[in-house]
Structure 1
Amino acid sequence: MRVIGLMSGTSYDAIDAAAADLTLDGDRLTLTPLGLITRGYDKRLRAELAAALPPATTTLADVCRLDTAIGRAFAAAAVEADRELCDGQAELVASHGQTVYHWVADGQVHGTLQIGQPAWIAEATGLPVVADFRPRDIAAGGQGAPLVSLVDRMWLRGRPGAPAALNLGGIANITAADGTAFDTGPANALIDAAVSEATGGRLAYDLDGELAARGTVHQGLLDRLLAEPYYALPAPKTTGKELFHLPYLRTALQGFEALSTEDVVATLTRLAARTAADAVRSVKASEVIVSGGGTRNPVLMAFLRAELGGGMPLRTSDELGLPAAAKEAYAFAVLGFLTLHGLPGTVPTSTGARHASVLGSITPGRRGTPWPETLPEKEAPARLVVNGHGSRAR
Structure 2
Amino acid sequence: MRVIGLMSGTSYDAVDAAAADLSLEADTLVLTPLGMASAPYPGEVRAALAAALPPAVTTMEQVCRLDTRVGQAFASLAVRADEELCGGRADLIVSHGQTVYHWCEDGTVHGTLQLGEPAWIAEATGRPVVSGLRTRDVAAGGQGAPLVSIVDLLWLRGRPGVPVALNLGGIANITVAAGSGPPAAFDTGPANALIDAAVHHLTGGRLGYDEDGALAGRGRVDEALLRRLLDDPYYAQPPPRTTGKERFHLPYLRAALAGHEALPAEDVVATLTRLTARTVADAARSVRATEVFASGGGTRNPVLMAMLRTELGGVPLRGSGDLGLPSAAKEAYAFAVLGFLTVHGLAGTVPACTGARHASVLGSLTPGWRGLRLPEPATAAPVRLRVSGN
Normalised by the length of structure 1, the TM-score is 0.97
> What is the CA–CA distance in structure 2 between the aligned matches of 1:206 and 1:121, rounded to whole Å?
33
Aligned to 1:37: 37
Aligned to 1:17: 17
Aligned to 1:376: 378
1:380 to partner: Cα distance? 3.2
Aligned to 1:348: 351
> What is the CA–CA distance in structure 2 between the aligned matches of 1:221 and 1:380, rounded to whole Å?
48
1:26 to partner: Cα distance? 2.2
1:204 to partner: Cα distance? 1.1
State the SS of the aligned residue for 1:16.
Answer: strand
Fraction of identical pairs, as percent: 72
> What is the CA–CA distance in structure 1 between the aligned matches of 2:290 and 2:381, rounded to whole Å?
25
Q: 1:209-228 residue pairs with structure 2 within 5 A? A: 209-228=213-232
1:366 to partner: Cα distance? 1.1
> What is the CA–CA distance in structure 2 between the aligned matches of 1:117 and 1:376, rounded to whole Å?
28
Aligned to 1:388: 389
Aligned to 2:123: 123
Q: 1:71-220 residue pairs with structure 2 within 5 A? A: 71-177=71-177, 178-220=182-224
Aligned to 1:392: none
1:254 to partner: Cα distance? 0.5
CA contact (8 A) 2:11 2:170 kept: yes
Match of 1:305 among 303, 306, 309: 309
CA contact (8 A) 1:290 1:324 kept: yes
AA matched with 1:25? E
> What is the CA–CA distance in structure 2 between the aligned matches of 1:10 and 1:258, rounded to whole Å?
29
Q: Does 1:365 align with 2:362?
A: no
State the SS of the aligned residue for 1:143.
Answer: coil
Match of 1:267 among 264, 271, 274: 271
Aligned to 1:28: 28
Tell me the alpha carbon deviations over residues 302-340 of structure 1, each in whole angstroms, 9 at most, x when there is no partner.
00000011x211100011110001100000000000001
Tell me the alpha carbon deviations over residues 108-129 of structure 1, each in whole angstroms, 9 at most, x when there is no partner.
0000100000000000000000
1:368 to partner: Cα distance? 3.0
> What is the CA–CA distance in structure 2 between the aligned matches of 1:163 and 1:18, rounded to whole Å?
24
Give 5+ residue unaligned stretches, structure 1: 390-394
> What is the CA–CA distance in structure 2 between the aligned matches of 1:52 and 1:211, rounded to whole Å?
28
> What is the CA–CA distance in structure 2 between the aligned matches of 1:312 and 1:64, rounded to whole Å?
46
> What is the CA–CA distance in structure 2 between the aligned matches of 1:196 and 1:43, rounded to whole Å?
15
Aligned to 1:329: 332
Give 5+ residue unaligned stretches, structure 2: none
Aligned to 1:294: 298
State the SS of the aligned residue for 2:68.
Answer: helix
AA matched with 2:319? T
Tell me the alpha carbon deviations over residues 280-322 of structure 1, each in whole angstroms, 9 at most, x when there is no partner.
011111111111111100000000000011x211100011110
Q: Does 1:339 align with 2:348?
A: no
> What is the CA–CA distance in structure 2 between the aligned matches of 1:368 and 1:227, rounded to whole Å?
54
> What is the CA–CA distance in structure 2 between the aligned matches of 1:213 and 1:51, rounded to whole Å?
30
State the SS of the aligned residue for 2:51.
Answer: helix
Q: 1:311-322 residue pairs with structure 2 within 5 A? A: 311-322=314-325
CA contact (8 A) 2:29 2:386 kept: yes
CA contact (8 A) 2:24 2:30 kept: yes
CA contact (8 A) 2:198 2:269 kept: yes
1:95 to partner: Cα distance? 0.2
Q: Does 1:252 align with 2:252?
A: no
> What is the CA–CA distance in structure 1 between the aligned matches of 2:293 and 2:352, rounded to whole Å?
20
State the SS of the aligned residue for 1:202.
Answer: coil
Aligned to 1:281: 285
State the SS of the aligned residue for 1:212.
Answer: helix
Normalised by the length of structure 2, the TM-score is 0.98
State the SS of the aligned residue for 2:327.
Answer: coil
Q: 1:234-253 residue pairs with structure 2 within 5 A? A: 234-253=238-257
1:42 to partner: Cα distance? 1.4
1:81 to partner: Cα distance? 0.5
> What is the CA–CA distance in structure 2 between the aligned matches of 1:199 and 1:43, rounded to whole Å?
19
1:106 to partner: Cα distance? 1.1
1:262 to partner: Cα distance? 0.4
Task: Report how many residues are paired.
Answer: 386
Tell me the alpha carbon deviations over residues 223-273 of structure 1, each in whole angstroms, 9 at most, x when there is no partner.
000000000000000000000001100110010000011000000000000
1:210 to partner: Cα distance? 0.4
RMSD, matched Cα: 0.8
CA contact (8 A) 1:345 1:380 kept: no
User: Which deviates the most, 227-236 or 380-389?
Assistant: 380-389
> What is the CA–CA distance in structure 1 between the aligned matches of 2:60 and 2:371, rounded to whole Å?
31
1:200 to partner: Cα distance? 2.1
